[in-house]
């Protein structure tokens, strides 16, 4: 073990240079203009898996971006861990808010700054490098490893889902290891045991058949922006509750144990508000901040467009307005049911003076993972050893669509070993990832292989 860890230390600078190369590829999955970059990035990951000593490395074509697979199955009788990550990233807008080029990584203040540095290239690279360190020093791993890295997580991950359903044998494993979540606080080793789900909708409102002079027509016809704003405003009541019928009917309450855990974590609303630059936090009445983030569903408008948005002023009564609205879900809400309820309700709110179209975009099921699983116990031990502190257990407000499918289709626990921080600016300008954490992440991964290799298989 010492040899493996010494290798990581000795090669740390090279690892960082390689991570930079990974981050230079602008693999933005939602923008069609980046189609070619997706393939380039998949090839990059495949090359790194080969260099790390993985066998049977291949790109698996899908209807969308390719999946990258690799394996090392040289430890018969030992457990198998499937490592999942995603090589696609979010768009970089607004570009003018970045202090440096999002696709030209820079090292500053002990962090690496670029789109994808945390979410998810930095985090999945951790495991590629831990495997490499093992293979280069011991010539073998203490357990069997499979990698499955996708290129469509940020757009709902439908193709990996289809692949998983048809390839359960190939992906058979004793646990799925995923680093795509956050630590509770800097330097605090964290295992996440829950993710929220998601229903993402688009609402388009049309008024008159063309843009109109707002003087000649204002007051005579409904303005689609005004009407859309009214509809959005009706989606919450004064207590911050979502008004969609049946929205909360399947929401599970936190257990007593979870409530106690939250208490022990001593979350500071004040510190959180200060870091975000707001005077006060906001949310559903009657729940603490961590409860609202981890165990309560929400509805948020992600973007709204319509009319004249350029510099200067133009008097216009626009023909169209639209909004993207998403809902974060918790067990046992069903994203498809919620999409139907949303559609019905929003349509019912629309006055006769406008036309309304409601479209479901993508979704994800919420998930909670039992903490007693030996894989979770091994992961908690491993991260604690690497970071030199007691591991804490958290749920997350974010979503990773494929996790539920892994758990259900492979009948294996998901180990969410997060190394990010809420302050890393994922999906936002100036994304970054701590280099110390990158290093300790690799060490955690190495310890996990060791700990997990000792468990009795089911």
Which residue lies nearest Mn ion, judged by its C-beta?
119
Looking up tokens 């990059």, which residue turns up? 44
Name 156's Cβ contacts closer than 8 Å, sequence gap at least 6. Answer: 200, 361, 362, 363, 364, 401
Overall size of the chain counted in residues: 458
Question: Which does residue 18 touch among ligand BES, Mn ion, none (CB within 5 to 8 A, set by kind)?
Answer: none
Residues 75-94 binding ligand BES (CB under 6 A) are: none
Query: Which residue of 37, 71, 152, 154 would you call a contact of ligand BES, by CB under 6 A?
Result: 154
- DSSP letters along 51-94, please? HTT-EEEEEE--SSSPEEEEEE---TTS-EEEEEEE--B----S
Sheet of strand 111-113: strand arrangement: 106-108, 111-113, 432-434
Stretch that binds Mn ion, among 16-24, 44-52, 118-126, 188-196 (CB under 5 A): 118-126
Stretch that binds ligand BES, among 4-12, 153-161, 214-222, 227-235 (CB under 6 A): 153-161
Q: Which of 29, 179, 182, 444 binds ligand BES (CB under 6 A)?
A: 182
207 interacts with, out of Mn ion, ligand BES, none, CB within 5 to 8 A per kind: none
119 in contact with Mn ion (CB under 5 A):
yes
Mark the segment that binds ligand BES (CB under 6 A) among 57-65, 255-263, 396-404, 436-444.
396-404
Q: Is 364 in the site for ligand BES (CB under 6 A)?
A: yes
CA 272 to chain centre: 20
The smaller minimum CB distance to Mn ion, of residues 119 and 150, is found at: 119
Q: Which does 70 bind (CB under 5 to 8 A by kind): ligand BES, Mn ion, none?
A: none
Residue range at the interface with Mn ion (CB under 5 A); choices 114-122, 160-168, 195-203, 226-234: 114-122
Instruction: Tell me the number of residues near ligand BES by CB under 6 A.
Output: 16
The CB-of-111 to ligand BES minimum distance in angstroms stands at 17
To ligand BES, the closest distance from the beta carbon of 36 in angstroms equals 22
d(CA 371, CA 369): 6
Distance CA 47, CA 411 (A): 30
Binding partner of residue 364 among ligand BES, Mn ion, none, CB under 5 to 8 Å per kind?
ligand BES
Nearer Cβ to Mn ion (306/420): 420
Bridge partner list, 325: 201, 301
Structure tokens, 296: 């309560």
From 53, 97, 46, select the one nearest 72 (Cα to Cα): 53
- Pick 52 or 198: Cβ nearer ligand BES: 198
439 binds, among ligand BES, Mn ion, none (CB under 5 to 8 A by kind): none
Three-class secondary structure of residue 278 per DSSP: coil
Q: Decide whether 150 or 227 has the Cβ nearer to ligand BES.
A: 150
* Residue 329 β-bridge partners: 197
Mutual angle of helices 402-410 and 158-166, in 10-degree steps:
10
Residue 282: partners with Cβ closer than 8 Å, 6 or more residues away:
240
- How far is CA 320 from its chain centroid? 32
Residues 162-181 that bind ligand BES (CB under 6 A): 180-181
Rg of the chain on CA atoms, in Å: 23
Q: Looking at beta carbons only, is 198 or 203 nearer to ligand BES?
A: 198
Contact partner at residue 201 from Mn ion, ligand BES, none, CB < 5 to 8 Å by partner kind: none
Q: Is 362 in the site for ligand BES (CB under 6 A)?
A: yes
Say how far apart CA 203 and CA 25 lie, in whole Å: 33
Identify residues 111-150 at the interface with ligand BES (CB under 6 A). Answer: 119-120
CA dist 113 and 129 (Å) reads: 19
Of the candidates 136, 150, 151, the residue with the CA atom closest to the CA atom of residue 54: 136
Q: Which of residues 294-313 bind ligand BES (CB under 6 A)?
A: none
Minimal distance, residue 19 CB to ligand BES, in Å: 17
Residue 399 is a binding residue for ligand BES (CB under 6 A): yes
In order of 54, 198, 200, the CA distances from 359 in angstroms are 42, 14, 9
Q: How many C-beta atoms lie closer than 10 Å to residue 204's C-beta?
A: 17
Work out which of 198, 228, 325, 443 binds ligand BES, going by CB under 6 A.
198
10 Å Cβ neighbour count for 59? 16
Least separation, in Å, of the C-beta of 396 and ligand BES?
4
CA gap 8, 15 in Å, rounded: 9
Q: Give the shortest CB-165-to-ligand BES separation in angstroms.
A: 18
Per partner kind, with CB cut-offs from 5 to 8 A, the member of ligand BES, Mn ion, none near residue 132 is none
Residue 199's binding partner out of ligand BES, Mn ion, none, with CB under 5 to 8 Å set by partner kind: none
Tokens (6 digits) for 290: 């961590």
Work out whether 118 is an interface residue with Mn ion (CB under 5 A): no
- The residues that touch Mn ion, with contacts defined as CB under 5 A, are 119
- The residues that touch ligand BES, with contacts defined as CB under 6 A, are 119-120, 153-154, 156, 180-182, 198, 362, 364, 396, 398-401
């Amino acid at each position: 073990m010492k040899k493996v860890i010494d290798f990581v230390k000795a090669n740390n600078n090279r690892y960082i240079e390689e991570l930079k190369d990974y981050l230079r590829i602008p693999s933005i999955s939602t923008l069609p203009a980046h189609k070619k970059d997706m393939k380039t990035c998949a090839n990059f990951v495949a090359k790194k898996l080969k260099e790390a000593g993985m066998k049977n490395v291949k790109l698996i074509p899908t209807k969308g971006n390719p999946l990258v697979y690799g394996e090392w199955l040289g430890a018969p009788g030992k457990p198998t861990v499937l490592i999942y990550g995603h090589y696609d990233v979010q768009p970089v807008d607004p570009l003018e808010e970045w202090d440096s080029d999002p696709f030209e990584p820079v090292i500053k203040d002990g962090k690496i700054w670029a789109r994808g540095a945390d979410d998810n290239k930095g985090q999945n690279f951790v495991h590629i490098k831990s495997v490499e360190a093992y293979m280069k020093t011991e010539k073998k791993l203490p357990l069997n490893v499979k990698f499955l890295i996708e290129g469509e997580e940020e757009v709902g991950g439908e193709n990996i889902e289809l692949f998983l359903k048809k390839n359960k044998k190939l992906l058979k494993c004793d646990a799925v290891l995923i680093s795509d979540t956050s630590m509770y606080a800097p330097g605090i080793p964290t295992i996440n045991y829950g993710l929220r789900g998601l229903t993402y909708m688009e609402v388009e409102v049309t008024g008159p058949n063309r843009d109109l002079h707002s003087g000649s027509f204002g007051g005579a016809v409904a303005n689609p922006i005004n009407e859309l704003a009214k509809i959005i405003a009706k989606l919450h009541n004064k207590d911050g509750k979502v008004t969609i019928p049946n929205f909360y009917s399947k929401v599970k309450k936190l257990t007593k144990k979870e409530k106690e855990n939250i208490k022990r974590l001593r979350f500071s609303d004040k510190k959180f508000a200060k870091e975000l630059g707001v005077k006060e936090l906001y949310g559903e009445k009657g729940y603490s901040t961590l409860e609202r983030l981890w165990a309560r569903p929400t509805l948020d408008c992600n973007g709204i467009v319509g009319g004249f948005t350029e510099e200067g002023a133009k008097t216009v009564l626009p023909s169209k307005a639209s909004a993207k609205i998403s809902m974060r879900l918790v067990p046992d809400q069903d994203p498809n049911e919620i999409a139907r309820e949303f559609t019905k309700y929003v349509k019912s709110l629309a006055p006769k003076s406008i036309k309304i179209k409601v479209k479901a975009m993508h979704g994800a099921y919420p998930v909670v993972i039992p903490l007693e699983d030996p894989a979770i116990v091994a992961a908690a031990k491993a991260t604690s050893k690497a970071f030199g502190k007691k591991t804490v257990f958290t749920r997350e407000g974010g979503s990773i669509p494929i996790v539920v499918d892994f758990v259900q289709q492979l009948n294996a626990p998901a180990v969410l070993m997060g190394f990010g921080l809420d302050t890393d600016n994922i999906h936002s300008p100036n994304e970054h990832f701590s280099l110390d954490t990158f290093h300790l992440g690799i060490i955690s991964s190495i310890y996990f292989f060791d700990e997990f290799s000792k468990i009795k298989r089911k």
